Homo-oligomer: A and B are copies of this chain.
Amino acid sequence: MTKRLVSVSFQPSGRTVDVPAGTDLFRLMANLGLKHSNTCGGKGKCGKCKVKIEEGFHALNPPTETELKHLSPEEVGQGYRLACAVRVPPVPSFSVRSPSSGPSTQILQTEGTPVYVLPDPAVKKYAIHLSQSGLFREEYILSELKERYGVTCRMDYTALTMLPAAIERGKTSVTCTVYCRKTVTAIEPGDTTGKCLGFAVDIGTTKLALYLVDLNSGKELVFSASPNPQVLYGDDVMSRISFAMARKGNLIILQKILLKEMARLISDCCVNAGISPNWIYEGCVAGNTCMVQLFLGMSPRNLAFFPYNNISRRGVTVRTGELPVRLPVHRAARIHTLPLIAGFVGADTVAARLAVELHDFRKPQMLLDIGTNTEVVLSDGDGSIACSCASGPAFEGMHITHGMKASSSSIDRVSIDPETLEVTYSTIDGAKPAGICGSGIASAIAELVKAGVIGLNGRFGDDLSRRTKRIKTVNGKAVEFVLAWRHETAVDTDISISQKDVVEVQKAKAAIYTGCTLLMKQRGITADHIESLVVAGAFGQFVDKESVRTIGMFPEVGNDRVHEVGNAAGTGARIALISLPKREEAERMARATEYYELAADPAFVGTYARAMLFP
């Protein structure tokens, strides 16, 4: 994040956190678990989220009319404000006193984006002291859970079968694993409350990212990643759907190969963290609609034909025993898949939104998760609307003559001298180039446009071959621009951008731009209203904003309002793993987000055609 960080301290708890200037104080406090009484949810109606600003008051926006309705002139003079009307000002430090600070909470720092989450996982363990009396041990344990910990539970079959051994003579206590505040899923002898782990996994079409997390602290212990082994059966989602439908038995092949790889990643993490798989009680899964269905063993045939009827949008909880591959986790463990919005706008998008949730949603914000399908979510005070753009894999380096994935030896930045048309480029790791990755393609096309090599319609200009040897022609027509000569490359050929490559990029960026534009139109806003445009996914991590702006991939919002957040889906899966309230929020968010079917918009074709042009 490029915004300036402000050190905000809260009294009387004394807690201090660093957040970007502009952060909404009401939401920040809610996320930190600093409860302020309110009955309107931060809409400025109830006037109950009163706080006293003790430092940094001078840099605040003046009290709004709403605030003046709820605060007396004396209170205003003493520095009282309503939290819901205050944004953290761009000062070095800012201090807030809350009349009703809640219990002590923990701050969770996740990599990439700072996210503030109070650990409150779906899985919790409770130790119960065994009494010597009482006939029915199940009823005794359930009543103790209720009396001592306030959790009203039932006990499931697996826990029941563990009970006789757990209460063996001589044992003085047992530990209950409670799922979602309502089901005892496991019972162990003694006090094992200290051992409670979970994993979060983002199942990408091409990559798996798995995080092992301590559920008591919410801390990530280790991380492991690997390619999605389903690529054996197709590079993209559509080819895997075709494979799954081609023959009975193929679906289970896709499910099993994925589960086996997950099992390997979990084992890796356990070894690296030095913990027993038996202490893992839950997994939380993000992934696009197709990946989640394949994980669950649900035929993706519903995604094969337009309109893409969805089976279900809710999060699904599976006992690991119900899966066809044994995962190295506790036998009572559950896996929860996050909800989806609709069509291809899946659990990864929901997770990504969870990860960027902290930003102020009262002003319009746009989230893009760029991939073969690019999902766009536009949110404002009225809610959210989402669509999926068939952007194609150009920005993943696919369907491009010399395209490759963002990895060693791939060209990621290009610069072209507008006078000489000479090229300088860099590769991700400085090695000799073997191809061009998505960000390199965006960069190259942007430079070609700026240098006038490509016209605004995407065609190579005439007479270019007189200016530079880098233009190759067929029948006198320019068809290719060489970025790296054969002798410079690691492959036995020139690396170039072809006319066809340009068209692929035009199609991709037009699809994304059209998605963004039609969503804004639906909400009656323009790019000027967008306060923040958040780009998630690998593409955003390498690309430079200027190239993207030059080729017109996004609405023109100004580079300072564009933020890259990397694998936000993985972060969101971790958030949902360590916070049941956040998971419930994901469920509400998925249901509250309107799905917009781009292909059904009469303006689609015209908008798309115009967006093929460079700006």
Contacts and interface: CB of A to CB of B under 8 A. Distances in A.
Contacts of A343: 135
A101 interface: no
B321 A157 contact: no
Interface string A318-349: 11011000000000000000000011000000
Interface stretch (A191-199, A293-301, A514-522, A561-569): A293-301
Nearest to A321: B322
B135 A298 contact: no
Q: How many copies does the complex hold?
A: 2
A338 to B, nearest CB: 15
A301 B164 CA distance: 7
Contacts of A306: none
Contacts of A139: 312-313
Contacts of A312: 136-139, 155, 160, 163
Contacts of A165: 299, 301
A314 B155 CA distance: 11
A184 to B, nearest CB: 11
Contacts of A317: 157
Contacts of A318: 157
B322 A160 contact: no
A16 B169 CA distance: 57
B157 A296 contact: yes
Contacts of A169: 305
A224 interface: no
Nearest to A300: B164
Contact of A316 (B160, B309, B316): B160
A310 B157 contact: no
* Interface secondary structure of A, over-half rule: mixed
Given A169-B305, A595-B135, A161 B298 contact: yes
Most chain-B CB neighbours within 10 Å: which of A298, A311, A313, A317? A311
A168 B305 CA distance: 11
A172 interface: no
A216 interface: no
A330 B225 CA distance: 38
A309 B140 CA distance: 11
Contacts of A157: 296, 316-319, 322
A138 B314 contact: yes
A344 to B, nearest CB: 12
A186 to B, nearest CB: 14
A310 B135 contact: yes
A302 interface: yes
B158 A322 contact: yes
Nearest to A340: B136
B311 A138 contact: yes
Interface string A142-179: 00000000000001011011011101110000000000
Contacts of A310: 135-137
Nearest to A293: B164
A380 to B, nearest CB: 23
Nearest to A297: B161
A298 B163 contact: yes
B309 A135 contact: yes
A110 to B, nearest CB: 29
Interface in A432-488: none
Contacts of A293: 164
Nearest to A319: B157
User: What 3 pairs across the A-B complex have the smallest Cβ distances?
Assistant: A164-B299, A138-B312, A136-B310
7 contacts: A135-B309, A135-B310, A137-B309, A137-B310, A164-B301, A165-B299, A167-B309
Given A161-B296, A165-B299, 18 more contacts: A134-B309, A135-B310, A135-B343, A136-B309, A136-B310, A136-B312, A137-B302, A137-B309, A137-B310, A137-B311, A157-B322, A158-B322, A160-B296, A164-B311, A167-B302, A167-B309, A168-B301, A321-B321
